[in-house]
Amino acid sequence: MGHGFGGLAKIRGIIYYRLSPFEQKAFAGVISKGIPNTFRRITENIFRVAPPFVISYIVFNETEKESHRMARKNPADYENDV
């Protein structure tokens, strides 16, 4: 069974056309298509993604403030200590 992964089965009747990775342009269209597409995707999804993060940050921040406030000792309880 000395076959590598992907060479375990023989499939007949299917023709694969592949382009060698050495013949492809790795960064083709990055400037002309990639940057505008990234900007478009961010603007489309910002209102779906940002509100949960903002709400989570506000809840966490207020919870931490309240925790620190409740953890403090009351100085009036120790006024008569000598």
Residue 41 lies in a domain: yes
User: What is the per-residue pLDDT for 4?
Assistant: 66
In the predicted structure, residue 23 carries a pLDDT above the cut 60: yes
Residue 38 lies in a domain: yes
Residue 66 lies in a domain: yes
Domain that holds residue 34: 30-71
pTM for this model (two decimals): 0.54
User: What is the per-residue pLDDT for 2?
Assistant: 58
Task: Dump pLDDT digits (tens) for 26-74.
Answer: 888 899 999 999 999 999 999 999 999 999 999 999 999 999 999 999 8
Query: pLDDT grade, residue 12 (50/70/90)?
Result: confident
User: What is the per-residue pLDDT for 5?
Assistant: 66
Residue 59 lies in a domain: yes
What secondary structure does DSSP assign to 9-75, as a single string? S---S-------TTTS-TTTTIIIIIHHHHHHHHHHHHHHHHHHHHHHHHHHHHHHHHHHHHHSPPG
